[in-house]
Amino acid sequence: MNLKAIIYVLGQVCKAEAAFLLLPMICALCYQEYRVAVVYLTVALLCLVIGFLMTMNKKKVGRFRAREGMAATGLAWILMLILGSLPFIFLGEIPSPVDAFFETVSGFTTTGSTIIPNLDVISRGSLLWRSFTHWIGGMGVLVFLLALLPSTSAKFMNLMVAESPGPDVSKLVPKVKDTAKYLYSMYIGLTLIQLTLLVLAQMPLFDVICLTLGTAGTGGFSVRSSGFDDYTMLQQGIIAVFMMLFGINFSFYFLLIRRKWKQAFRMEEVLTYLGIILVVTTIIVISVLPQFPDLWQAIHHVFFTVSSLITTTGYATVDFNLWTPLARTLLVIIMFIGACAGSTGGGIKVSRFNVMVKGIKKEFRNLLHPGLVEKVHMDGKPIAHETVRSINVFLAIYLMIFVAVLLVVSIDGKSLVTNFTAVAATLNNIGPGLGDVGPMETFAGFSPLAKLALSFAMLAGRLELLPIILLMVPAMWQGTHRITKRDLSDLKDEYEHEHHHTHAPKTAASAGEQEELDPPPPPAPKRHTPRNPDDEEDRELAARRKARRVAG
């Protein structure tokens, strides 16, 4: 385990959070909340100092494998959540550290579950910080760093894989840095479009900023105790449409920008996602129509609710806890399905749902025709067996975490509906559930132990389970590991890269592309010096020698 590389990433995250904390500080100054501004500035300086201390030895970072990527992602998020909760504690707005941590986790994981019953007592700076955490966590702070770092090596693709939502992450363009830039460019572009439309719809500016940040990150924090009652149907409709748009795979928008219309509109995941919204909305409208004064209002509120829950945003215009059993059952189902992979939404993801259904069909055909050899396809391309296996592993771990958290939450003695939907709402990063955690209620009634368990569920759901689970696996932190073919391939690529830069004449362009974090070429080993085979350094040296022989 390369701890230096992990510490370096943690330091960069601290620096980024220091910059993020300046926005609520500026907001507090604009509203003359000077004490609030001082607190946010203090926490920002604390993050900055910690970040500089952690990144002092950046030239000695070394190799960054998938194992380091998983560990760095999990630890970076935990550190970011702890530091992000400090303003609430120092201001006394959420005096309990457990409650402050729960609220911060809910923000960064884009869940939107809250323990604050009265938002009127919260400062404007803190309200903006709550919503801003949605926007930061939506696309991911590590993806943000990959887009901004002056030089980002391809080996840091592991960070994007570990943090990005979905069963598989591929680069939109050859360079990881450019992929991150494209993602955030589309993310910012959609955010600005929604912000502009809400301003034109005459929504108050502070509400526009907070709700747009929450919609973009598919979070669910409101800025008013009255919820969405004070907004017009036009304003609610704009938010509903953009919730749906932010739940679409960003590869779809990338294809549209590249004018690959046919390829974009043939994406099975997007078509399934839109089809689910249409079918579920239609069924629920028919089911709850008698509860509304006219058909238009029924369509409006049902579409808003379906768009909110399938994208795991969690905004609510009505108390869907009062709808028919059929309607509530369908809402719970789409809570689990979730949005598209590669979007800011949570849940199991539509792509996994598609692969699971196709895998079941394939197994049925194999039972009827034992000699049939067939693969699962998506968008006309066969899916690798490893991808199908990883989805099955994900679903198994998902079920185990769900049951474990449900057992802990059940200690409080609340109803099964409340406990079940509370776990579903947090593990899928939705926000509201049913029963005592409905859209008009809060999570304040749970015990500290239950809140910590639900916080774990939120973080595990946002990071696709594995980065958090692997932190608790002892083998993750062992100094040695078995050399695999993939390790040898990576070493071969690294050797060829180093060999090229050592012998090729350096032009201005090649010098500019030199990776900041790449390790220096390894020194030539002395053959006559005996080595301890159990030493990790000697193991890696042996692997490098073997890679050179393969390259030769």
What does 142-192 look like in DSSP terms, one character per residue? Answer: HHHHHHHSSS--GGGHHHHHHHSSSS----SSSSHHHHHHHHHHHHHHHHH
For the chain, what is the mean pLDDT? 82
Amino acid at 317: T
- Tens of each residue's pLDDT in the chain, 552 residues: 677 888 888 998 899 999 999 999 999 999 999 999 999 999 999 999 999 998 887 666 556 677 777 888 889 899 999 999 999 999 999 989 999 999 999 999 999 999 998 898 899 999 999 999 999 988 876 676 665 555 444 455 555 555 555 544 454 554 566 777 788 889 999 999 999 999 999 999 999 999 999 999 998 899 988 889 889 999 999 999 999 999 999 889 988 988 888 888 989 999 999 999 999 999 999 999 999 999 999 999 999 999 999 999 999 999 999 999 999 999 999 999 999 988 888 889 999 999 888 888 888 888 888 777 777 888 778 888 788 888 888 899 999 999 999 999 999 999 999 999 999 999 999 989 999 999 989 999 999 999 999 999 999 998 888 888 888 877 777 754 454 555 555 545 554 544 444 344 333 333 333 333 444 555 555 544 444 444 555 565 566 666 555 555
CA–CA distance, 279 with 293 (Å, rounded to integer): 22
CA–CA distance, 116 with 13 (Å, rounded to integer): 27
Residue pair 70/158 in contact (Cβ under 8 Å)? The answer is: yes
Q: What are phi and psi of 382, to 5 degrees?
A: -70, 145
pLDDT of amino acid 147: 59
Residue pair 36/511 in contact (Cβ under 8 Å)? The answer is: no
Q: Give me the sign of the Cα torsion angle 470, 473, 474, 480.
A: negative
| Residue 520, token pair as written in the block | 């220096």
CA angle (104, 23, 250) in 5-degree steps: 70
DSSP state of 224: S
CA–CA distance, 536 with 509 (Å, rounded to integer): 36
289-326 tens-digit pLDDT: 999 999 999 999 999 999 999 999 999 999 999 999 99
CA–CA distance, 162 with 467 (Å, rounded to integer): 7
CA–CA distance, 490 with 475 (Å, rounded to integer): 21
CA–CA distance, 313 with 429 (Å, rounded to integer): 8
Residue pair 243/218 in contact (Cβ under 8 Å)? The answer is: yes
pTM across the whole model: 0.80
What does 275-343 look like in DSSP terms, one character per residue? Answer: HHHHHHHHHHHHHHGGGSSSHHHHHHHHHHHHHHHHTT----SS-GGGS-HHHHHHHHHHHHH-S-TTS
Residue pair 321/194 in contact (Cβ under 8 Å)? The answer is: no
> In terms of Cα–Cα distance, which of 342, 355, 381 is closest to 251?
342
